[in-house]
Structure 1
Amino acid sequence: MRLYLFIIILILAGCGAQPPIKVPDPIDIEKLEFVVDQSLPLVQQAYSIESEEVCAKYDGTWRRVGRHQQLTCVLPTKDAGKVCANNSECEVACVADNTRSSEGDKVTGVCLDNTDLFGCKAYVSNGVVEPTLCVD
């Protein structure tokens, strides 16, 4: 009888319990979902956001953009409307009023007010209007 008991104990010992798997706390998961890498350029930050809740936390607007009407977060810029002569002077881009200016005109542009790059825009580079670019 002792032999059988010894064999059963050896078998059970061989099965051994595995160390518990650390399951993340729901609060930790929620924190991960709400973190946006703010060292990235603003447009990349916007495209890294995958939910309406996170978008709202960063004062963005969750909306459909482009021809495919993909839901995305559109973040506001801090320098909206600031006078500029080059994209490097803005968080997102420097644009000209493409209804009043043509390619090659010397102009002062303004910084975009958000991260939505869809539509037709005349970007300004070194104080000169570039060809209008339309993004679907």
Structure 2
Amino acid sequence: MRRLYLLGLFLLGGCGAQAPVDIPSPLEIEKLEFEVDTSLPLVQQAYSIESESVCEKHNGRWQRVGRQQQYACILDTRDGGKACSSNKECEVGCVVANSEAVAGEHTTGICLENTDLFGCRAYVSNGVVEPTLCVD
């Protein structure tokens, strides 16, 4: 009988109430939806934004992009149009300024003006044109 009593106590001990979970209020949830981690690179910031209202709050444009025409937040760069010789010199990327440039050629590029990476572009790396990259 004592064994049954101890077994019952053991089993009932596992049925105790769970520690309360803090459930965020609707106001706290709304605040989280409007926050963007500005320590991330600009492209990651843009793609972490999932609503038009948050996009507009961060001075972006909510528009359809790519072949699938899904909405995304497009953020402008601060260095768009600046001369560059490599992606590391730009917030988003360094692309050829001259549409006549071919892969392997030495050239100077320009920094992309925004976070819209769709389309075909030739990037510049260490002053050299990379093969054209197309993003659908």
TM-score by length of 2: 0.80
Is the aligned partner of 1:93 residue 2:96? no
CA contact (8 A) 1:52 1:73 kept: yes
The 10-residue stretch of structure 1 (28-37 or 114-123) with the greater mean CA deviation from structure 2: 28-37
CA contact (8 A) 2:33 2:54 kept: yes
CA contact (8 A) 1:77 1:114 kept: yes
CA distance in 1: counterparts of 2:22 and 2:121, whole angstroms:
50
Is the aligned partner of 1:108 residue 2:108? yes
Quote the offset at 1:28 in angstroms: 2.1
The residue number in structure 2 matching 1:35 is 35
The residue number in structure 2 matching 1:69 is 69
Listed as ranges, the gaps of 5+ residues in structure 2 are 1-19
The residue number in structure 2 matching 1:53 is 53
The residue number in structure 2 matching 1:44 is 44
Aligned length: 119
CA distance in 2: counterparts of 1:55 and 1:107, whole angstroms:
35
User: What code does the residue aligned with 2:24 have?
Assistant: P
The 10-residue stretch of structure 1 (30-39 or 94-103) with the greater mean CA deviation from structure 2: 94-103
CA contact (8 A) 2:85 2:127 kept: yes
Which consecutive aligned stretches of 4+ in structure 1 deviate over 4 angstroms post-superposition?
20-23
